[in-house]
Every structure is written in structure tokens, then in C-alpha cells.
Structure 1
Amino acid sequence: MAVQTSKSCLLLCIILVSIALLILSSQFLSITISQKNFSTTRKQRGAVKNDSTFWEEKGNVTLPPALFNTTYTAKIAESTKTNLVTKLKVDQIKTSMPLNEGEAETAMPVLYKKSFSRSPQWDFEDVYNLDSSPRPMTCAQSLRNSKDESFRKAFLPNIRLYLHKDNINMSEWNRLSHFNNPFGFMEYTYDDVMASVKLIPKPEEPLLLPKPGSGGCVRCAVVGTAGILNGSRMGKEIDSHDYVFRMNGAVINGYEEDVGNKTSVYVHTAHSITSSLYFFKKYGYKSVPNDEGIKYVLIPEGMRDFNWLKGLLRGERISSGAYLNQRPRTYYAGQYNETRFYVLHQDFLRYVKNRFLKSEYLKSSHWAIVRPTNGAFTVFLALHTCDTVTAYGFMTEDYKKYSNYYFERNLKTNVVFYANHDYILEMKTWKKLHDSKILKLYQRTISNAEKETPKPH
């Protein structure tokens, strides 16, 4: 009897193992077919991947990425396969997104940052949404006429700048869910984010337009908070520009002689607009800039920003998260207007990171927190909406001479380096853009090359 029972158990085990092997084989076949179909579909749709960056030239000029308006299956790049991602998770990624247009779509499985030992690189890492043609360019001095080959290869004049309810769907959600914040929606759930995104109105007009009598040129100043502006007396020059961008703790009252008084565009995150009131109160900071007709631009860096957006756009208290019960509209000094409020698109933020500010820190274990500064995003927003750009109050090669902030008048502080930003890379980028005559960087110390430039007779 015992022998018969043993034989029965052995037979049952063999049957179960056979079924398991059959299931695994079918899954493997499905994944293989999925990858094959993806390769064909991708070629048919004409997506063009461009690996050019501002820092290194790679062969001949390549075409800019195609408009990313359809679903792409997440094919893992070779560099990503070496990361600490389980095979199950990789298989989920490969099979989670439909191949053919018109198929029913569902949100892909949530990806977690802890699954990657360094920044993952997908095969569509450098593919972006493009908007319709940029505004007609009639300014002879426009930076878009730059002869710098590496800049021309990297620069996309019609990169999609703004996120709104009409340019996101499940297909876009799945694509952007492969990137960590602020470059995408990794670790977030569809319902949590979409509750906010579906409230964002489509911008009614471009961020900036040429002023009358400007010859079609949009001339902009971007004002950072670096100590180099302390005693600079650049205020009048800054205010003479058509438009002035500021960000974060833009302390103005009492410092007008050095930093000017005008603000046309204020760029912020939920964190910067709230924390500046506490950090810079002792320097006289009372509110964000609130010029008549000012435009506000939000960088959606995390879930707290989407909670902020929901409260702001509904005119309500925030119902969850870090700013529970706060009323966002009270932070805009009476100048909030839905028609003058913009939210930067994740594609634009990722494009800035990939093509201009790709830090070596992204290869480290703390890759997920590494991103350009708010000031850097503001500079590149200006480069895509203006014809000429002058940057004031940004880090220069002699930064150790100055305090961290221009409003620290009576003490000498050192520049604070945080782990989530590559300040040295940004400093080198501003200098390279300046040397390439793409923007003008305010510097207190003139280089020898500039001193030796012959003056006209």
C-alpha cells in the first residue's frame, strides 16, 4: 500500500513539473514574439533615437527624435540589464505595454527605484514629444542661429515644454513610468497622479512673445541667487531686458541695485515656494515675486507637487501629503491666474538632463535623487523661449570668492553642495554656453581670452 502511494505521489509530481515547464515555455515564447514585434513596430513608426549631447560630439548630425505620440514597448537596453533588476520585473516590463494602436491599455506594473543600482537606460531614453513648429524666428541675433555644432545637434527648438490634461493618456503614462521623478512617474500610481494632471489646462498662449519694436527678438535675463551679484550693481541692466526670469528664494526688496526689481516669469516647486518663506525671512523675503501679469512655472519634482497642483487648481486645501490642509493659492501673493500658470513636461526635464547636464552621479547608488537645479531648468526654459539670454547670479569659476547667496551681505559663507545636484557640471556648462556665444554669463572676473579680444578702431 505504501509503495502504491509513493508511486502516485511521484506521478503527481511529474505531472505538476510538466505543467510548470509548459507555462514557462509559453511565457518565454510570448516575450520573444513581443520583442520581435516591437522591433518591427518601432521601425514602422519611424522613431529616431539621438544620442548627441552638448558635451560630446558623436559623428555626423543625426535627425531629431520623432514625435512620440504612440505606445512603445519597454525594451531593456544592454546597460540596464546589468542592474539589479529581477527577471520577473524585466519580463513584466517587456510584456506590459500593447504593441498595436487601438488595443485596450492598462497601467504597467509600478517600477521601484530600489530595483536599479544606477540610473536605468531604456532604448527610448532619448526620445521626446515634440510640439508643433516653434514660433517664426525673425531675430537675427537669436541663439537658434548658433553655429556651434554640438549645441545644434543637442538642441530641440520645439521640445514639448508643458504638461497638461490634453497631452497625456495611458500610453504616455506607461512610457513616462519608466523614469524617476522629476523626469517621469516611477513609483507613482496612475490614479494618484492623474487626479492632478487631468486638472491642468492647456496653455492659451506661448510663455513669451516679442515686445513691440523689438525686431522680433525676445531678450531675457535669468537671475539666480549666487553671491556674485552682491555689490554688482547689475539691477538696471537686468531690468532693461524684455523679460526677467527668477526662481526659488528671489529676495528683491532692498537688493534692487544689484538684482533689479522686475520679474516676468517665476519658476518654482512646491517645496521652494513654501520653504523660501522660512529660510529667507531674515533677509526680508515675504512672498514670491508678484508683478502684474507675472507667469508662474511649476517643476513637478515629486508627489507633493501633484498634491499641490490639485489644491491649487481646485482652489482648495490640500487633502493629503506633506502640505496637508495648506491652501496653495495663498502663496502666490494675489497673482495666481490659471491662464498664466504652466507646468513643465517630464520630457523637457529629461531632455535637459540627458543632453546638457548628464552627471556622472547618475552612475552612483544615489542616482535617483540626482537632477539639475531649479536654476538650471530655468536657464534652459529661457533658452527655448527667448532669442537672447543673459544669466546673472550663477556659479562661475571663481565662486569661492563669493558667499552662497547675494543677500548675505554682512558675512562670507561658502557655497553649499548638495548630493542631488552636480554644481560643478552646471558651472562648466554655463561657461561653455558663454564661450560658444549661446548665452551671456555674468562674470566678475574677465578671462584672459576676453581681455585680449581686439577692440574695433
Structure 2
Amino acid sequence: MALKMNRLLLGLLTAISLLCIYILCVNLQWSLPSSSEPLKYLQVFSQGENSGSRDSEEPRFRQSNRDHPPPASTSNPQLSDQHEDTRVEHNQTLKTLTFSGNNVLDVSKSSSKSVNVSVNTRTGTKAPTVKPQRPAQPAGPTEPPFIGDTYMSEDIPPQTDCPDGIQSHVTKTEFGERFLKTLPVLQWAQHVTPEQHRRLSQYTGAHGWAVLDYQTLVETLSVLNSSANWRLLDDWKDRGTKSECIRCAVVGNGGILKDSKKGKEIDGHHYVFRTNGAVIKGFEQDVGSRTTHYTFSTNTLMNSLRSYGGVGYQGPPVSKETHYVFLPDHDRDYLLMKAAATHTLVERGKERGKDPTKYFGQDVSAEKLKMYNPDFIRYIRNRFLRSKVLKGHHKNIYRPSTGAVMLLAALHTCDKVSAYGFMTPDYKEYSDHYYDRSYHKVAFYINHDLQLEMALWQQLHKEGLMRLYMHK
């Protein structure tokens, strides 16, 4: 009898236990999301050890394995602003056009397939007008949203009939499919639409419009409304014939130029690009004297004035042929650009009350001002300079150096490009800048990957897409 009671009690306890487990499972099912879609994991980008360009006058963080960026070197101006992490979701209401292609460098390979936003604008003698394309459905998110390998597109006819220029030669190299010929290098008034603002507001710093509300964007970019603003080489018709190749010299500030005697050669190009703390007076024999395009951000301009005044930098070059190309790293750049175009004082921000003619001369006008398109800067980062920094804590402060943006802009615009004063593998043999009074070794910082840039310059030189000045 006792045995039967024990078995009965055991069965009762088993039934109660099963009932409890069932109730628990039901509750858990209701608490879980109804979607059965698997979690999406962020892609990890592989990156090699090599390469970099020259932009050492620009404020940067030293590269480090620490979780937070340390202070900048005491010999370099500090980075005055850090970009906050902005988490975004893909907006599939955008008009899109798919580009295909493989990464150009072994050090920047990615298995993702990109769907590229294209606001197709057609340009002849008139300004480009927006012509949206039919939307194409992406295969699904395969990259972190901040990468944003999607871009607007413009169909601008070539300015020359150069038979062996970069645009035709690039298709024969491993850069071919990564090189987007229709991506606008500059931004201007007609790029500002509510749709583009929503898209580009996903991206921080120089890679988008996250720092700008729509009204401010309209007010600032509305002054860039002529062909002089959307063409980097807007005065070519006054310089050469249709059949002549456009030759551009892009001059960095690296110490390799000291005693180079390349000044006459540099000035012999149709266009001469310079950047940041470009000291010319007293160094003409090595670096030339002409400047047709001066690239900078407001932050790097102010830091260059503070840091290099003692060695002769008094501000941007000022001449009749000089154009000023803003790299829009902050809202400061838009505000200074608007003030320069309208000959008014900067209305707010860190430069509030400053007179832009102090930097760009009394003859500065909207026709002399240009501004890089954030799509172009993000494209350079994603397809040419995808650093392993993008995998870490400092991804939101990383961007291509100002010199790198300038050089790649020339490669996307000119027929022939010669680069001077950019980092080469023997960089340790030269001082940081050609105008240094004593030797200063090159310092590396986390918001640029100069080693990666150096490798890119070597490969572009090897592929015949540019001619890089090297001692060896």
C-alpha cells in the first residue's frame, strides 16, 4: 500500500513540474519578439599594415591601443572637436542606383555588396538638375550603417578629349570598378533637397550633414549656385584647348620637398593644389609660387595660423587665380564659407565676428569658393582608405587627411596628376615639413591613417594613375 502511495505521489509531482515548465515556456514566448528574422551582425573589415599621406600640420590624435584617445602631441595643435557617435537606420525610401565593384587595395577588401544612392544630375553648358532614378531594392544590410557606401551621381561631360588621361586609364587598373566617375567632387546649392538632407544627416563630421539642420544648410549652400561652384576646374576654357590634357600638381607639405628644386616644375602645371600650412615665401625654388586651389577646413586653418606663424605661414595664399576649397568637417566651415561669399562677418560659432577677408583677401567672392561633397569624402574613406580604425572606438573621428582628399579630388578631376610632398616609404629620412627649421619626426595620430595613405600613393603611382615625387 505504501509503495502505491509513493508512486502516486511521484506521478503527481512529475505532472505538476511539467505543468510549471509549460506555463514558463508560454510566458517566455509572449515576451520574445514576434519576428523570426535572425540577428544581423556587423561586418568586420580586414586591413593591412601599410601606408599614408602627408597632412602633419592637421590636428590629430596619436594612435593608441587605449580605449579613449589621448591628448594630442604638444608639438601639434589639438583636435578641437570630437564627433559624437550617431546611430542610424537605413532609409529605403531613397532613390537608388546600384554600383558594382571590388576594393582597390588588398588591405581594404570587403565582401559587402553596395547599393549606391544616386540623384542623377545631367550637366552640359547649364547647371546640373536633379533627376531621381527608380529605386532598386538592396539585398539587405551587410555593413554598419555609418559606412554608408551610397552616393549621389552627376553626369558631367569631360572638359577635354585627353586620349590617355586618368578617366580612361583607370579602367585598365585594379582601381577601375571602385572609381566612380559620376560622383560629384563638390557640393553646391542644387544638391540641397529634403531627401538628400535626410540621407546625409545619417553621417557625422565630414562624411555627412549631421551637424546641420535643413534651414542652415539651405542658407549656407545657397551662395554656391553657379558653375564656378560645382566645377573644380571651372576656368579651364580660359586656360587651354578642348584637345589638351589638364595637368595638375598637388603639393603636400612633407619634408621630402626640402632642397628638391621642384618649384619651376610645379608651377609649370595648369593647376597647382596646396593645403593647410603651406608656406611659400622663401621656399619657391623647392615648392613653386602659384596656387590655384587651396584646400582646408576651418579647424585646420585656425590651427595652422597658431602653429606655423613662426615659420612663415600667414594664412591661405591670395592671388587672382586662387580658389578656396572648404573641407566641411564642422558647421564652422559652412558658416565661414557663407560669410566669405557675402562679405559679412561670421554670424555665430567659434569664429563669430571674424572677417573672412582677413584670410582670403578683399577680392574673395562666391565664384572663388568651393566645398567638397560629403559623399565624396565618405567615398574616399570607404573605397580607398578604409582603415582598421573604423573597427574600433575612434571610428567617428577618423577621416582621410585633408591632403588625401585634395589629391584624390585632383585624380577624379584632372587628366594628369603629379604629387609632391606626400609621404613615401623613406619618410623617416625627412623632417615633418619642408619648412621645419630643425628635424621633427613624423607623428601618427588616430584620426588619420597616414600609413594606409602612403601605401595608396605607392599603388596609384605604380598603376600609372599619378606621378609621385620620390627621392628613391
**1:198 pairs with one of 195, 199, 222:** 222
**1:398 pairs with one of 415, 426, 431:** 426
SS in 2 for 1:342: strand
CA contact under 8 A between 1:64 and 1:156: conserved in structure 2? no
With over 3 angstroms needed to count, the CA separation of the structure-2 counterparts of 1:261 and 1:412, relative to structure 1, is: same
Mapped pair 1:348 → 2:368: no
Distance 1:207 1:326 in 2: 27
With over 3 angstroms needed to count, the CA separation of the structure-2 counterparts of 1:189 and 1:253, relative to structure 1, is: same
Percentage identity across aligned positions? 31
Amino acid paired to 2:471 = R
**Structure 1 position 304, deviation (Å):** 1.5
How do 1:30-429 and structure 2 match up within 5 A?
Answer: 47-56=97-106, 66-67=118-119, 70=132, 77-80=141-144, 120-121=146-147, 125-146=148-169, 148-204=172-228, 206-208=231-233, 209=236, 211-212=239-240, 215-408=243-436, 410-429=437-456
CA contact under 8 A between 1:308 and 1:323: conserved in structure 2? yes
**Structure 1 position 134, deviation (Å):** 2.9
Deviation per CA, 1:350-394, whole angstroms, max 9, x where unpaired? Answer: 111111111111111110000001100110111122100000000
Amino acid paired to 1:358 = R
**Structure 1 position 220, deviation (Å):** 0.7
Amino acid paired to 2:294 = Y
SS in 2 for 1:413: coil
The TM-score normalised by the length of structure 2 is 0.71
CA contact under 8 A between 1:134 and 1:158: conserved in structure 2? no
Amino acid paired to 1:173 = H
CA contact under 8 A between 2:275 and 2:402: conserved in structure 1? yes
Q: Which moved more, 1:62-71 or 1:256-265?
A: 62-71
Give 1:432's aligned residue.
459
Distance 1:63 1:438 in 2: 26
Distance 1:73 1:217 in 2: 37
Distance 2:417 2:358 in 1: 31
Distance 1:427 1:298 in 2: 23
**Structure 1 position 197, deviation (Å):** 2.6
Amino acid paired to 1:227 = G
Q: What is the number of residues matched between the two proteins?
A: 367
Deviation per CA, 1:214-269, whole angstroms, max 9, x where unpaired? Answer: 84210010000000001111111111111111111110000011101111111111
With over 3 angstroms needed to count, the CA separation of the structure-2 counterparts of 1:292 and 1:412, relative to structure 1, is: same
**Structure 1 position 348, deviation (Å):** 1.1
**Structure 1 position 188, deviation (Å):** 4.0
Deviation per CA, 1:253-289, whole angstroms, max 9, x where unpaired? Answer: 0001110111111111112233322211111222311
Deviation per CA, 1:115-134, whole angstroms, max 9, x where unpaired? Answer: xxxx734xxx2221111233
5+ residue gaps, structure 1? 1-20, 29-37, 81-118, 446-457
Distance 1:365 1:275 in 2: 25
Amino acid paired to 2:469 = Y
Asked which structure has the greater CA Rg, the reply is: 2
SS in 1 for 2:154: coil
Distance 2:270 2:213 in 1: 41
**Structure 1 position 195, deviation (Å):** 3.3
Distance 1:434 1:363 in 2: 28
Give 1:6's aligned residue.
none
Q: Which protein is richer in helix relative to its size? A: 1
**Structure 1 position 64, deviation (Å):** 8.1
Distance 1:133 1:355 in 2: 21
Amino acid paired to 1:286 = Q
Q: Which moved more, 1:319-328 or 1:393-402?
A: 319-328
The TM-score normalised by the length of structure 1 is 0.73
Amino acid paired to 2:104 = F
With over 3 angstroms needed to count, the CA separation of the structure-2 counterparts of 1:235 and 1:207, relative to structure 1, is: same
With over 3 angstroms needed to count, the CA separation of the structure-2 counterparts of 1:131 and 1:197, relative to structure 1, is: same
CA contact under 8 A between 2:252 and 2:275: conserved in structure 1? yes
Q: Using CA pairs under 8 Å that are at least 6 residues apart, name the structure with larger relative contact order, 1 or 2.
A: 2
Distance 1:225 1:319 in 2: 32
With over 3 angstroms needed to count, the CA separation of the structure-2 counterparts of 1:335 and 1:276, relative to structure 1, is: farther
With over 3 angstroms needed to count, the CA separation of the structure-2 counterparts of 1:309 and 1:206, relative to structure 1, is: closer
SS in 2 for 1:280: helix
Distance 2:213 2:137 in 1: 18
**Structure 1 position 202, deviation (Å):** 3.3
Give 2:57's aligned residue.
none
With over 3 angstroms needed to count, the CA separation of the structure-2 counterparts of 1:424 and 1:338, relative to structure 1, is: same
CA contact under 8 A between 1:70 and 1:171: conserved in structure 2? no
